[in-house]
Chain A
Amino acid sequence: MDILDILLQASFWTAAIRIASPLIFAALGELICERAGVLNLGIEGIMVVGAFAGWLTVYLGGGLWFGVAVAMLSGMAFGLVHGVLTVPFGLSQHVVGLGITLLATSLTYYCYRLALPEVTSPPKIEAFQPLEITILSDIPVIGPALFNQTPLTYLAFVLVVAVTLVLYRTPMGLALRAAGEDPAAVEAQGLSVSAIRICAVMVGSGFMAVGGAFLTMSAFNSFFFEMVNGRGWICIALVVFGSWKPGKTLLGAVLFAAFDALQIRVQQTPLGADIPYQIFLMAPYILSILALVVMSRRAQVPAALMVPFNKGER
């Protein structure tokens, strides 16, 4: 039983893609915010909100896609708060972002206790089921990995393509990127930097919330505390790893997820018996940092990232 054997298993890649999916949503959301010039450190908390909102909607009898929509809207609401505080008011994006994370997380736990005061073990919901795409899923190894997933995973990949097209092929994307590169240029062309940035943060936060909802509605089928477990922070690094490009960010998410899936499997091999399991838990993070060092040295940071723009300032 070798690492090579693991890498050739279809089930390994299926797991990797599944682990990558929430990261793809959230990293894409973060990318949209940062491309417009706003660092959104609320990501971790917004993912918690999304996970809870989506799950609760379904638990209370709503449809699955309705749950995704509610998650997205609740994420956008926190995005609006973040956007208003950081863009027109120009407050520190670090402080506001961390504040949003703390607020969103605590508020979620509070609401959980309000909604389910008596519950000790979290109730399960009827979650998204894998949807096999015939013919394509018969391709060896990558077939089941890519074409036997839940609809939310397909949505994640579709969104990567859609965001790429919007960013590079439409006037809207041009305006958004310009807001993150040189807001004065945007204002000089008669567009509102504030409007563009707030909208970007809202949409981006909506994506993050859907990433959180993936955890409850497509992976664990129930909501429990600490389930987001730092995935938001990983996404911040993934955006840097991906040089602020959607395609490369997707690649980074899959790579990280593959490391994660690998370490679980290697723990069960004879090799795993000799080494403390904590080493394996660390491995994806260490490898991510190494990959980040290699990949992001030539990255082009949006020039106006974290630079507030004040119209008409002398």
Chain B
Amino acid sequence: MTDPRPEAQVVLRLENITKRFGKLTANGAISFDLRQGEVIALLGENGAGKTTLMNILFGHYTPDEGHVEVFGMRLPAGNPRAALAAGVGMVHQHFTLADNMTVLENIVLGTRSIWRLGFGRAQARQRIVTLMEDYGLRVDPDAQVGSLSVGERQRVEILKALFREARILILDEPTAVLTPQETDDLFATMRKAVALGLSVIFISHKLHEVMAISSRVVVLRHGKLVAEAKTSETDRAAMAQMMVGSEVAAPVVRRADPGAALVTLAGVSSPDIGSAPGLKNVDLELRAGQITGLAGVSGNGQTALADLIGGLIRPASGTFHVKGDAPRGWSPHAAISAGIARIPEDRHKTGTIADFDLTENAVLELYSRPGFSRHGWMNWRAARDFAAKIIRGYDVRCPGPETRIRLLSGGNMQKLILGRVLETAPSVVLANQPVRGLDIGALTYVHEQLLAARDRGAAVLLISEDLDEVTALSDVIHVISEGRLSPGFARGAMTPAELGVWMAGDGFEEAPHAA
């Protein structure tokens, strides 16, 4: 990306923005400028204050101090309508689209006076089609949003902003949900937008993307602006260091020493779960002492696989073996008894009970084991000792074992789950999105622990949407798409682009007709 000329007009100015939530200062006196035709990458760990800052800019939150100027005009605080009218368009991390309405209806929403009688449907469609061509955003205007893929929905969000003649686009972690190919398409759209004179703020923590697309980086840490640099004058290592505030060491991966297959699936299929596909004729082996990585865009059957191994569902067809036996009456209880320990995908919903304390959460799956209960009575002393051991051993930062778990940060909650999982010396570890939403410190810790579990001889299944994470840790990588599983690829055998082809659903042989 070329640098915009230094004399380019300032289109957006953040001036001394401060926002507090209770005791937490989410943004502390942040100021920076965005110039016309520029892509600023806003970098920072989770909880660094990026999303809060953008919500202030867009008027969702009112800042406690400071103000926003767009094209030299000061925006009234806390007023999304004013931000929209001034030409600020925002694509949220969580899309704000109504599923049961069409693309066209979603785009037109709010752009017409509500006292107007007709829609101006034909005219709106004409404009949308023109915008699609200008910016390379293909999507059917009459499709129901609920039937679209995640990538398509994102295009609708961008179209929505462009339809309102946005001159400044804010993209909040747009690539988190995309395949590498869709990311390339998005970048092409961003380049077209910049060429047409728009300016972009791009939020991400994927450093290679930041290098590829941005002209300038702004780094936030703990709510403060800690660094600002031209992309051409910095590099990935420097940016990572600015984000975390200290040198980051990638985990050292020793060679794996695979042992026996502990979990085996042969030709396994399972029913669809709502709109998410079930498994389709899946072959998979989880070997002791090996990390098996599962790459794929979310919602492609990861949940079905995790639920199957975790005991929540049973295979509809095919053979399923755990440690050589075909389990009868497969259930979560049977899975736990078989030594399968789970790090669930959603630590808030299925991993913990928010208003239970750490002790109760620590023994959530283990309460029936001898030691924690006898003759149907809980042994709370043992449970508390167990929780205390996890807190010490896994560096869970908390006031004590009687703290309600909802008060912990995501990272500390995940460490408790990790401790609960690993303290039982499981033979199989099912890690579903184990570092989602964690900052780099906690993330590195979780990764080290998973590697240590592998080295102790556990079979680890790592499910993640982050391809970088999967390729960094896994000894064998499978790609899942539409419930189909690719063959296993050895570490380093495939480039990210090649894996991306599989993630997009290409490369699979036609499914046999019998299926």
Give chain A's interface residues, CB within 8 Å of chain B.
Answer: 169-172, 174-175, 177-178, 181-182, 184-191, 300, 302-303, 311-312, 314
Instruction: Kindly provide the distance from the CB of A186 to the nearest chain B CB, expressed in whole angstroms.
Output: 7
- List residues of B (30-81) whose CB comes within 8 Å of A's CBs: 55, 60-62, 78-81
Rounded to whole Å, the gap between the CB of B318 and the closest CB of chain A is: 31
A189-B84 CB under 8 A given contacts A175-B109, A178-B101, A303-B100: yes
Q: How far is the CB of A246 from chain B (nearest CB, A)?
A: 16
Given contacts A178-B109, A184-B96, A186-B109, 4 further A-B contacts (CB under 8 A): A175-B110, A177-B98, A190-B83, A190-B85
Q: Is the CB of A312 within 8 A of B109?
A: no
B112 touches A171 (CB 8 A): yes
User: Is the CB–CB distance between B109 and A170 below 8 Å?
Assistant: no
Residues of chain B contacted by A302 (CB below 8 angstroms): 100
**From A174, A175, A185, contact of B97 by CB (8 A):** A185
One of B115-123, B178-186, B418-426, B479-487 at the interface = B115-123
- The docked-state distance in angstroms from the alpha carbon of A303 to that of B94 is 16
In the complex, what residue of chain B is closest to A184 when comparing beta carbons? B96
Q: Judging by beta carbons under 8 Å apart, are B84 and A177 in contact?
A: no
Question: Which residues of chain A come closer than 8 Å to B108, judged between CB atoms?
Answer: 171, 174
Some 29 contacts from A to B, beta carbons below 8 A apart, are A169-B119, A170-B117, A170-B118, A170-B119, A171-B112, A171-B114, A171-B116, A174-B101, A174-B109, A175-B109, A177-B101, A178-B109, A181-B98, A182-B98, A185-B96, A185-B97, A185-B98, A185-B106, A186-B109, A186-B110, A188-B90, A189-B80, A190-B81, A190-B82, A190-B83, A190-B84, A191-B110, A191-B114, A303-B100
CB pair B99 A181 closer than 8 Å: yes
* A172-B114, A190-B84 known; A182-B97 Cβ under 8 A: yes
Binary contact track B113-133/A, C-beta < 8 Å → 1, others 0: 111111100000000000000
| Nearest CB of A to B35, in Å | 26
**How many angstroms between the C-alpha atoms of A181 and B112 in the bound complex?**
19
- Chain B residue at smallest Cβ distance from A191: B110
Contact between chains at A300 and B100 (CB < 8 Å): yes
Cβ contacts under 8 Å, B115 to chain A:
172
Going nearest first, the 4 A-B pairs with the smallest beta carbon separation are: A189-B110, A190-B81, A181-B98, A171-B112
Determine the main DSSP class of B at the interface with A.
loop
What residue of chain A has the Cβ atom nearest to residue B98's Cβ? A181
CA distance A184 to B48 in the complex (A): 23
Question: What is the distance, in angstroms, from B107's C-beta to the closest C-beta of chain A?
Answer: 10
Decide if A175 touches B98 in the complex (CB within 8 Å): no
Tell me whether B491 is interfacial, beta carbon within 8 Å: no
Return the contact of A314 from the options B21, B106, B117 (Cβ within 8 A): B21
For residue B481, give the distance in angstroms from its CB to the closest CB of chain A: 27
**A residues within 8 A CB of B112?**
171, 174
Q: Is B111 positioned at the interface, with any CB of A under 8 Å from its CB?
A: yes
Task: Please name all residues of chain B whose beta carbon is closer than 8 Å to the beta carbon of A172 when the two chains form the complex.
Answer: 114-116
A-B interface contact total, Cβ < 8 Å: 91
Smallest CB-CB separation from B144: which chain A residue?
A: A300
Q: Let me know if B466 is at the binding interface, CB within 8 A.
A: no
Question: Inside 8 A of A191's CB, which chain B residues have their CB?
Answer: 81, 109-110, 114
Closest to B81 in A: A190
Q: Which residues of chain A have C-beta atoms less than 8 A from B81's C-beta?
A: 190-191
Minimum CB–CB distance for A305 against chain B, Å: 11
B97 touching A189, Cβ below 8 Å: no
Chain A residue at smallest Cβ distance from B121 = A169
- Asked whether A181 and B110 contact (CB < 8 A) given A169-B119, A170-B117, A312-B61, the answer is no
A188→B116 contact, CB < 8 A: no
Docked complex Cα distance between A190 and B84 (Å): 7
B interface residues (Cβ-Cβ under 8 A, vs A)? 21, 55, 60-62, 78-85, 90, 92, 94, 96-101, 105-106, 108-119, 160
Q: Give the residue among A172, A178, A300, A311 with the most B Cβ atoms within 10 A.
A: A178
Q: How far is the CA of A303 from the CA of B207 in the complex (A)?
A: 37
Please, which residues of chain B bring their CB within 8 A of the CB of A175? 109-110, 114
Q: Are B119 and A303 in contact (CB under 8 A)?
A: no
- Complex Cα–Cα for A188 and B79 (A): 10
A171 to B120, CA, bound (A): 9
Task: Determine whether the beta carbon of B98 is less than 8 Å from that of A169.
Answer: no
Residue of B nearest to A192 (CB): B81
CA distance A312 to B112 in the complex (A): 24
Closest to B55 in A: A312
Report Cα–Cα, A312/B62, bound state, in Å. Answer: 9
Instruction: Determine which of A170, A171, A188 lies in contact with B80 in the assembled complex, contact meaning CB atoms within 8 Å.
Output: A188
Which residue of A is nearest B60, CB measured? A312
Q: Which residue of B lies closest to A171 (CB)?
A: B112
B100 touches A189 (CB 8 A): no
Question: Chain A's nearest CB lies how many Å from the CB of B192?
Answer: 23
A102 to chain B, nearest CB (A): 32
A131 to B173, CA, bound (A): 63
Report the minimal beta-carbon distance from A275 to chain B, rounded to whole angstroms.
44
Q: Are B109 and A185 in contact (CB under 8 A)?
A: yes
CA distance A170 to B119 in the complex (A): 5
A314 to B51, CA, bound (A): 11
- Docked pose: A170 CA to B118 CA in angstroms: 5
Q: Shortest beta-carbon distance, B108 to chain A, in Å?
A: 7
Q: Contacts A171-B119, A303-B99 given; indicate if A187 touches B80 (C-beta within 8 A).
A: yes
Asked, given contacts A175-B110, A185-B96, A314-B21, whether A190 binds B101 with beta carbons under 8 Å apart, the answer is no
**Which of A169, A181, A187, A311 has a CB less than 8 Å from the CB of B118?**
A169
When C-beta atoms are compared, the residue in chain B nearest to A172 turns out to be B114
With A169-B119, A171-B113, A174-B108 as contacts: A188 and B98 at CB distance below 8 Å: no
Min Cβ gap B417→A in Å is 22
B80 touches A190 (CB 8 A): yes
A169 to B104, CA, bound (A): 12
- Is the Cβ of A303 less than 8 Å from the Cβ of B109? no
| Shortest Cβ distance from A302 into B: residue | B100
Q: Which among A174, A182, A187 is the interface contact of B99 at CB below 8 angstroms?
A: A182
- CB closest chain-A residue, reference B107: A189
Give, as a whole number of angstroms, the nearest-CB distance from A197 to chain B: 14
Asked if A181 and B84 make an inter-chain contact with CB atoms under 8 angstroms apart, the answer reads no
* With A169-B118, A170-B117, A314-B21: A188-B92 Cβ-Cβ less than 8 Å: yes
Q: Kindly list chain A residues whose C-beta atoms are within 8 Å of the C-beta of B111.
A: 171, 189
Are A303 and B98 CB-contacts (below 8 A) given A170-B116, A174-B105, A190-B81?
yes
Bound-complex Cα distance A177 to B160 (A): 17
Kindly state the separation between the CA atoms of A294 and B239 in the bound complex, as whole angstroms.
Answer: 60
Q: B61: which A residues are within 8 A, CB to CB?
A: 312
| A189 & B119 in contact (Cβ 8 Å cutoff) | no
A177 and B101 CA atoms in complex are apart in Å by: 9
Q: Which of A171, A178, A302 has the most CB of B within 10 A?
A: A171
Measured between beta carbons, the chain B residues less than 8 angstroms from A189 are 80, 84, 109-111, 160
A174 to B114, CA, bound (A): 9
- In Å, the complex CA distance between A172 and B114 comes to 4
Chain A residues, CB < 8 A from B97: 182, 185
CA–CA, A184 and B111, complex, Å: 16
What CA separation (Å) do A191 and B80 show in the bound complex? 9
What residues of chain A lie closer than 8 Å to B79, measured between beta carbons?
A: 190
Cβ-defined contact, B114 with A181, below 8 A: no
Bound-state CA distance A169–B119 (Å) is 6
Distance, CA A175 to CA B105, complexed state (A) = 9
Q: Which residues of A contact B100 (CB under 8 A)?
A: 181, 300, 302-303
